[in-house]
Amino acid sequence: MITKSELDKLVEKYETPDFAESDPIQFLKCGKCKQETELYGFIASLFAYGNRKLFINKLSEIFKKAEGDMLNYVKNGDFSSLKGIEYRFSKDYDIIPVFEILSKLYNESEGLEELFGYGWANSNEDMRKCQQTVVDYFYARAPKTAGQGFYHMLPNPQNGGAMKRMNMLLRWFIRKSPVDIGIWKFIKPKDLLIPLDVHVARVSRKMGLIKRKSNDFKTVLELMKPLREFCPEDPVKYDFAMFAYGIEHGKDLEIENGKI
C-alpha cells in the first residue's frame, strides 16, 4: 500500500489554485456573496458528471441565463429562460424544478447552508443521514412532471451510491485550502467523505487503499479508513492527489506494489 508520505507529496503537487481552472469549482468565484456562491456551487455539483468539457460548457450556458445575478435570478422565480436546456439524462422539466425549489428555499430561509446545517444537526454526526435530509427536501417538493433526470441530479442515499457530487460540494464548502473555499462552519473537515468517482476509485485500488470492485457507499467507507489514518483531521485532502493523478495519467496509469 502507498505510504502517507508518498500520498502527501502528491497532495502538494496537485492541490494548487491551478486545479480549479479545469474543475467545476471555478464557478464559485462568480458569487458576490455567500448565498450566491452556494447557488453556483450547488448547481455546478448537480451537473458534474460525464465529460468535463461538456458539463462545464453546459454550466456556463445555464449560468449566463442569470445575467450575473444568480441570487436574484433564483429568488425571482421566473425560469422560463431555462426552457430547452438539457444535459444528458436531465431535460428542462427536470432542471427547472430544481431552480423552483431553490427559489422557495432562498425566499423562506437562509438557503443551502441552513438546510445542510439542519440535516447535520439532526444526523447524530452521520453524513449519510445529513444528505438524506437534503435530498428529501427536494423530493418532497418535486412536481409530478419531474423525470429520471431530476432524480439523477439528486440521487437517493438510500440506494447505496457513493454520492460523489454531494460529497464534492461539501468538500468545496467545508475545507479551506488553496482550492476549497471553506465558507460553511457547521461541521469539520474530519467528518467529510471522499467524492468517489472512477478516477479516484481506480487510483485507490492501484495504490492498495481499497479492494472492493464497486464504486458505491461501502467503498467510500472502505477508502475513508486509510485516509483517516493518514490525516485524521482532514482525510479528504487526498481527493486531489488521487483524482488529478488519475486524470493526468489516464489509461496509462501504472502503480506497482503501491509505489508511484
Q: Is 259 within the bounds of a domain?
A: no
Do the Cβ atoms of 185 and 127 come closer than 8 Å? no
Q: Is 112 within the bounds of a domain?
A: yes
Do the Cβ atoms of 219 and 13 come closer than 8 Å? no
Q: Is 191 within the bounds of a domain?
A: yes
**pLDDT digits 0-9 by tens, 107-132:** 999 999 999 999 999 999 999 999 99
What pLDDT score was predicted for residue 244? 85
Distance (Å, whole) CA 76 – CA 2? 51
Q: Is 179 within the bounds of a domain?
A: yes
Assign residue 119 a region: left if phi > 0, alpha if psi is -120 to 50, beta otherwise?
A: alpha
Per the confidence metrics, is the pTM higher than 0.75?
A: yes
Q: Is 51 within the bounds of a domain?
A: yes
% the chain with pLDDT above 70: 96
Q: Is 257 within the bounds of a domain?
A: no
Do the Cβ atoms of 204 and 210 come closer than 8 Å? yes
Distance (Å, whole) CA 103 – CA 140? 15
What pLDDT score was predicted for residue 251? 52
What pLDDT score was predicted for residue 250? 64
Residue 29 CB: number of other CB atoms within 10 A? Answer: 10
Distance (Å, whole) CA 246 – CA 243? 5
The total domain count for the chain is 1
Within 13 Å of residue 149, how many CA atoms lie on the same side as its CB? 17
| Residue 253 in this model has a pLDDT that exceeds 70 | no
Cα distances (Å, whole numbers) of residue 197 to 7, 50, 192, 233, 242: 18, 11, 15, 22, 10
Q: Is 258 within the bounds of a domain?
A: no
**pLDDT digits 0-9 by tens, 151-180:** 999 999 999 999 999 999 999 999 999 999
Do the Cβ atoms of 46 and 98 come closer than 8 Å? yes
The strand pairing partners of 221, in sequence order, are none
- Which residue range(s) make up the domain with 54? 4-252
What pLDDT score was predicted for residue 152? 97
Distance (Å, whole) CA 120 – CA 82? 32
Rounded to 10 degrees, what is the CA torsion of 48, 51, 56, 57?
Answer: -140
Distance (Å, whole) CA 53 – CA 71? 25
| Residue 258 in this model has a pLDDT that exceeds 80 | no
Amino acid symbol at 191:
D
**Burial class of residue 254, CB neighbours in 10 A (0-12, 13-18, 19+):** exposed
Determine phi and psi for 15, rounding to 5 degrees: -85, 75
Residue 213 CB: number of other CB atoms within 10 A? Answer: 9
Distance (Å, whole) CA 190 – CA 183? 16
Distance (Å, whole) CA 196 – CA 199? 8
Distance (Å, whole) CA 4 – CA 97? 44
Confidence at 22, pLDDT banded by 50, 70, 90: confident
